[in-house]
Amino acid sequence: MTLQQYFSKLERNPKPEIFFGAYTERLIFWRQFRDHLENSSDPLKDVLQLYKLCPLTHTKTNFFDRSTWPMAWNLIEKNDYNGVDRLLGMWYTLRLTDRFARSNIDLLQCMEKNLNPVGKKHFSLALALGDQYCVVENSAILLKKEFDNQFVSQYTYFNL
């Protein structure tokens, strides 16, 4: 199974159906994608590839205020994503599989250790599953040692 089956069949503009279909279609494709993850050889990579294609908008979802976090079904229904919503979508997608239902999955806000050329701090959101870290902003999947060499965790929600 490839991720391509979750995309529109339009040759000129293939888009992930989970973000561009009608609500019921989005739910169906999301369920099929979660079924795909049950046997995926690289589920973090698959989730990251799909969610990096979600269109970003402005929402009031705040990483530091869990009362603003939409439930999984509301996120799919609303279909509006900021960076935090994207991270939550990835987390819900993994969490709602049998394979990862009991796994420890952490959500982090982290800062790059090396400042950019203008010396400005850059914050990123990441998801940790076992010894792998999925950094959303740069689409990287890093082992714990690599993550620790590049990032400092600023805030972590442990085992949500």
pTM metric for this prediction: 0.88
| Mean of pLDDT values over 53-70 | 94
Beta bridge partners of 110: 124, 153
- What whole-number distance in Å separates Cα of residue 7 and Cα of residue 23? 15
Residue 96 has pLDDT above 60, yes or no: yes
Delineate the domains of the chain, giving CATH numbers in brackets: 3-157 (3.10.620.30)
Helix/strand/coil for 32: helix
- What whole-number distance in Å separates Cα of residue 131 and Cα of residue 88? 19
Report the share of the chain in percent with pLDDT over 70.
87
Beta bridge partners of 108: 126, 156
Is residue 108 within 8 A of residue 128, CB to CB? The reply is: yes
Is residue 88 within 8 A of residue 75, CB to CB? The reply is: yes
The pLDDT value given to residue 97: 97
